[in-house]
């Protein structure tokens, strides 16, 4: 995958509808305010990943036990598809290449390179949504 969003949704999973999804569009991404939360938009999808507690992203680092962003100080994530979203999240995400310059505590926007893999259960369902979102310029 050069860039875009690739998702595998288990049968019955709410956000992906149990279908494999590939969106070959250039994502846009920016940090939310002065936080470590990264918001990514591609197609009808909006994804937010936050390492939590002002922890910066770090290449190769996995953030387990992610809960619904922004309702936690631990790692958080939120994934929306065309207005559909979860009220409760259990997941994890891994930073494969996100590297950003920093000026003090402010992240530089927009983000020009990232590769994030994720896995998530929505609303305590057993079905899993897994995927990868990538941008390389």
What is the rounded distance in angstroms from the CA atom of residue 78 to the CA atom of residue 86? Answer: 8
Domain that holds residue 61: 4-135
CA distance 53 to 33: 14
- 53 exposure class (CB count in 10 Å sphere: 0-12, 13-18, 19+): exposed
Q: Which two tokens stand for residue 134?
A: 């990538």
Tens digits of residue pLDDT in 19-78: 999 999 999 999 988 888 999 999 999 999 999 887 888 888 999 999 999 987 889 999
Its pTM stands at: 0.91
- Number of domains composing the chain: 1
For residue 103, what pLDDT band results from cuts at 50, 70 and 90?
very low
Using 50, 70 and 90 to split pLDDT, how confident is the model at 107? low
């Amino acid at each position: 995958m050069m860039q875009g969003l690739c998702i595998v949704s288990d049968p019955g999973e709410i956000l992906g509808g149990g279908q494999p999804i590939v969106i070959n569009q250039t994502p846009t991404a920016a940090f939310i305010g002065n936080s470590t939360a990264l918001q990514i938009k591609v197609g009808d999808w909006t994804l937010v990943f936050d390492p939590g507690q002002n922890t910066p992203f770090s290449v190769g680092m996995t953030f387990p036990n992610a809960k619904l962003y922004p309702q936690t100080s631990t790692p958080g994530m939120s994934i929306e598809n065309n207005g559909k979203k979860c009220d409760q999240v259990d997941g994890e995400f891994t930073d494969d290449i996100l590297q950003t310059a920093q000026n003090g505590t402010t992240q530089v926007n927009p983000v020009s390179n990232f590769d994030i893999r994720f896995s998530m259960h929505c609303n305590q369902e057993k079905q899993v949504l897994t995927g990868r979102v990538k941008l390389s310029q």
